[in-house]
Chain A
Amino acid sequence: MGGLQIPLEHVLLIASCLFSCGLAGLMLRRNLIFMLMSLEVMLNSAALAFVAAGARWGQPDGQIIFLFILSIAAAEVAVGLGLVLQIQRRFKTLDMDQANRLRG
């Protein structure tokens, strides 16, 4: 446990900042690519919180969960980008408001 210790509170603060940024992006952006990126940011903020908590209590669980999140994010991007391609082909746009076909 050598080296400089970063207080847990700081890390959590950064994580929640990242999470808020991602959430705001998700709610505000209309482009699907950006929405996907916002999702990634949110996932990573959660992963950062896990790593920090694992380091704080000296447990490996945090890093294990980080690896899980990493693989989930990879899978999600793979599927998501496939969908993005299809949507681009079908609607000729990535603007989610214009791709809305639902007639309420």
Chain B
Amino acid sequence: MAVLWLIPFLPFLSATLMLLSAGRMPRYLSAWLGVGSIGLAAVCVALVARAYLADHQVQELTLWTWMSVDNFTPRIAFRVDGLTVVMMSVITGVGFLIHLYSVEFMWEDESICRYFAYMNLFVAAMLLLVMADNLLLLYLGWEGVGACSYLLVGFWYRDPDNGRAARKAFIVTRVGDTAMALGLFLLFTELGTLDIQPLMAAANDRWQIGDTLPILATALLLGGALGKSAQLPLHTWLPDAMAGPTPVSALIHAATMVTAGVYLIARLYELFLLAPPTLAVIAWIGLLTLLLAAFTALAQKDIKRILAYSTISQIGYMFLALGVGAFASSIFHLVTHAFFKALLFLAAGAVIHCLHHEHNIFRMGGLRTRLPVVFLSFLIGSAALAALPFSSGFFSKEGILLSAWTQPGIGPWLWAGGLLGALLTSIYSFRLVFIVFFGEAQTEPDRQPGWQMAIPLMVLCVLSLVGGWFVLPLSGVLPDPGHDPVSHWVEYISIGTPLLGLTVAYLLYLGRQVSIASLMASPAGAAVQSFWYGGARIDKLYDLLLVRPFTGLTHWWRNEPVDLLYNALVWMTRWGHGRLVVLQTGELRWYATSMVFGLLLLLAIVLRDSA
């Protein structure tokens, strides 16, 4: 299809134009270009999606051969099936709304042009990632989003803390990316291709379920997915990545980039089905991550950090679903999560924007009547996040929990863990709502969100409500075993859990039936609070285990022995220069005389030899 290449190209083109203007592009032009290019790409995606929905034909487009080395000939080629259509729609649709919102949010920032350039570049890289026909092109997009994430987290680079957060995001995901690159090398040397479809066919041909090689390869790819999707043990970068502007958090760290790991595993599902141990590990990592992140979210004070941990937790659900083989349920949760997490982040951004950049939820309060649009958005977003019945999150999370339940053997454990996570999710999301929007006002808002902010919020509200009724065109693309009919009490429990969480949150934070303050004041309560406030101390652990030994080693190794040789060379040259410089007197007669004597010496040597 002809418009296929336009989809990643348009954002890339506008990003290039803005970067080449070196920030001298006028505000209006950058905003139009930045929002317009994503809007046009979204229109192209809509055309492609309509064509796909009409006949379910996989569309392919080969642009050129990237390189040709021996039998390694990756092409620049796109392949669009149901999964890609879903991902493209989310990226350009939610991306467009976030771009529109950014116009108002970033209007007063002096480098709005740079902002839109990075955002467009990010969207282009993400589209490349999901449209790629081979894993090398996918890896290009993968690294592209990593680089843009670095640029955007450190967008306000004048504050050294932001730069540190950006470096952390880049380095931690790089650990995963290295594993992924090794996985790609292994796949290529074993199967001789990186084109996704032939690769999966060859893997099915050559490998049996449970062989060592597919387990190794999928484990390495999983490393990359863990880094990008912020799962244990590589999740520490995401909360710090909240240093970037809030729409960046909405776009990158909630709606699109962090789902790249989920996409990778879903895209290569045939490979992962050959490695049941890897799938089990994915399920357990997902479960652990979602519980840990939910507990941590409960103890945070910064509105964006709460949402960041809730993102980690929700992606944990997606990994749980992938691990139990419910690939379509995972992608479904990805889509609904993109809607309601973008909504929550944008609403949080509106609160921050209207409240003089206040992040601490305990200095907000009573915003229900003061910012009604934002309150409504936040309420709907939290309902979907907590999976209250008939919100979009309800349908997707329900599917995941039921798939976990029917998993033979470990199923009920995964289900119970997921349920505990759902309870916690419900508590922390309504804790946020109650503290920020109810109670007494602490800070007065100094403005109301304008239409560029309100329209994306409203659209996302609608999507968060009705998103659960969408039927994604995934049948035939991803296997979803579905689940056997389960007894009704399992379903009732999953419906009741979020409501229970809502009640607990009400009692604790709004009704004041149970005093949370006296609980916090007790030593045990304070210890638990500080443990979870620090993110279960995992940052401290990494600092102790990795960062300090490394910096210590580099400090100790500062005078490298290898350098001694080169330093000696430098020293000898200096010494020789010091000795020889006395010959350079600048006296003409001295030069002439030395030439004469040199000549005589040469003549003497020549004559002696010939004699």
Contact = CB atoms under 8 A, between A and B. Distances in A.
Interface of A: 23, 26-30, 35, 96-97, 100-102, 104
A56 to B, nearest CB: 22
Contacts of B581: 104
Closest 10 CB pairs of A and B: A102-B586, A100-B586, A96-B588, A27-B593, A104-B584, A26-B592, A104-B581, A100-B587, A27-B589, A27-B592
Nearest to A97: B587
B602 to A, nearest CB: 16
B582 interface: yes
Contacts, number: 30
A102 B589 contact: no
B596 interface: yes
B596 A27 contact: yes
B589 A104 contact: no
A87 B507 CA distance: 99
A32 B555 CA distance: 61
B583 to A, nearest CB: 8
Contacts of B596: 23, 27
B551 interface: no
Interface string B566-598: 000000000000000110111111001100100
Contact of A26 (B582, B587, B589): B589
Contacts of A29: 589
Contacts of A102: 584-586
A27 B589 CA distance: 5
Contacts of B586: 100-102, 104
A30 B584 contact: no
Nearest to B581: A104
A23 B587 CA distance: 16
17 contacts: A23-B596, A26-B589, A26-B592, A27-B592, A27-B593, A27-B596, A28-B589, A29-B589, A35-B588, A35-B589, A100-B585, A100-B587, A102-B585, A102-B586, A104-B582, A104-B584, A104-B585
Contacts of B589: 26-30, 35, 96-97
Interface residues of B, number: 11
Majority SS at the chain B contact face: helix
Contacts of A96: 587-589
Nearest to A38: B592
A27 B592 CA distance: 6
Nearest to A28: B589
Contacts of B588: 35, 96, 100
Interface string B531-572: 000000000000000000000000000000000000000000
A100 B585 CA distance: 8
Nearest to A23: B596
Contacts of B592: 26-27
Contacts of A26: 589, 592
Nearest to A26: B592
Interface in B589-611: 589, 592-593, 596
Contacts of B582: 104
Interface string B433-449: 00000000000000000
B527 to A, nearest CB: 72
A34 B87 CA distance: 90
A21 B451 CA distance: 99
Contacts of B584: 102, 104
Contacts of B593: 27
A101 B584 CA distance: 12
A103 to B, nearest CB: 8
A104 B584 CA distance: 6
B601 to A, nearest CB: 15
A6 B519 CA distance: 128
A40 to B, nearest CB: 15
B213 to A, nearest CB: 70
A35 B587 CA distance: 13
Contacts of A35: 588-589
A43 B398 CA distance: 106
Nearest to A100: B586
Nearest to A39: B592
Given A26-B592, A96-B587, A104-B585, 12 more contacts: A27-B589, A28-B589, A29-B589, A35-B588, A96-B588, A96-B589, A97-B589, A100-B585, A100-B586, A100-B587, A102-B585, A104-B582
